[in-house]
Amino acid sequence: MTRSRYIDGGVGVAVVGAGSIGSLRAEIAHRHPSVDFLAVCDIDPAKVDRLADSCEADISSTNALDIVSRDDVDAVIIASTEDAHYEPAMAAIQAGKTVLIEKPFTILPEEGYKLLATAEEYGVRVYTGYTQRFRRRYLAIKEHVNKGYIGDVTSAKATIYLAESVARAVISRAGTTTPSINTMTYLFDLLNWYVDGRLPTAVYAAGSTKGRIHDDYDTPDSTWCVLTYDDGMVANLGVSWELPEFWPAYVATMDFELFGREGTVSVKDDHRDVLMASRKAIPSPYTPDATMNVAMLGSYMPGDWALGEHFGAMQEETHAFINSVGQNRQDPILATGADGIDVLKISRAVDQSASSGEVVKLEW
């Protein structure tokens, strides 16, 4: 094993955003054995103070630009609200830091392209937080696709459903997001990853406007799309924000199927394999105010806490990011910034088609 596989000294990490995901990233970083400096930031002083105490941060601030440029910070995680990624990410890149930006990479594609251009100029690695790549079942699909067991992929079908309480939490903090940009984005990323750079050339989509989310936020409650490719491949993907808040899968359920010339793979990721019923109300880990008496355990996409420790996909992704910085290497699983831009372009084309009722052409 070469010396580059080890981490000499330590890694300084800054986390921008003290919401549920930023807080989780900071707690995971705090427990990583190679993190020797931790900074946390949020515009809400009370939130950042609570997080700093919880994860024993070395420094906290309400100004992201202050912490991302510190000499003792090597890696920056941008976990601010979806429409506030650009400024702290740009500052971190210009300070020469390796950056992980939570999905979506940005809301506006032009901002994302500026970040990528600046990262290339400064020689900085930029990643996008697509945590589902690190779940064993989806990683196993990638491995077996690469080994040729599916052969040339000919079509795909995938769905992701989100509890209404989670959807409300998402859109209330980022009013410009949509089911496609926030949630179906996971499906786009996995599909792009599996087919190794093949990208759709046209999309047709439709969205429901009859539900509660549309009534309150004027965005589709669900969106369904067909992606077509120049080589004849086709994909049918869908997202719904309509599961009631007491649905047993208290955050999300997914299904994914790939069809190829040599085989087929199918994942039923609805969490019905671990079912708990209780006379006591069970809070959702993402939106604790939403409770149910029957819960499908394991449906919180980042993973779970148990015995005071976090385990699951977000821990593995955060560790991979920190390790890649400490070892100065490109991680093979982490989604790149360019991957994030590709997904954003598809997401926005889906929304454009759903709004116009017309087929939208994609150029790459």
Task: Dump pLDDT digits (tens) for 149-206.
Answer: 999 999 999 999 999 999 999 888 877 889 999 999 999 999 999 999 899 999 999 9
Rounded Cα–Cα distance for residues 197 and 342 (Å): 10
Number of domains observed in the structure of the chain? 2
Same domain, 162 and 273: yes
Domain limits for position 233: 134-303+345-356
| pLDDT tens digits along 197-247 | 899 999 999 999 999 999 999 999 999 999 999 999 999 999 999 999 899
Question: Which DSSP state fits 3?
Answer: G
Same domain, 61 and 167: no
Same domain, 169 and 216: yes
Among candidate residues 98, 124, 150, the one where a domain is terminated: 124
Which amino acid, one-letter code, is at 268?
K
- Residue 53's CB is within 10 A of a number of other CB atoms, namely 10
Domain annotation covers residue 317: no
- Name the β-bridge partners of 16: 41, 78
Rounded Cα–Cα distance for residues 266 and 258 (Å): 7
Same domain, 23 and 91: yes
Are 222 and 238 in contact, with CB atoms under 8 Å apart? yes
Same domain, 201 and 256: yes
Rounded Cα–Cα distance for residues 90 and 93 (Å): 5
Same domain, 102 and 141: no
Domain annotation covers residue 129: no
Rounded Cα–Cα distance for residues 306 and 348 (Å): 37
Kindly report the pTM of this predicted structure.
0.94
Are 281 and 274 in contact, with CB atoms under 8 Å apart? no
Same domain, 294 and 157: yes
pLDDT at position 2 over 50 = no
Rounded Cα–Cα distance for residues 288 and 183 (Å): 20
Containing H/E element for 29?
Answer: helix 20-31
Same domain, 139 and 234: yes
Domain annotation covers residue 173: yes
Are 143 and 135 in contact, with CB atoms under 8 Å apart? no
Domain annotation covers residue 321: no
Same domain, 145 and 58: no
- Name the β-bridge partners of 259: 155, 264
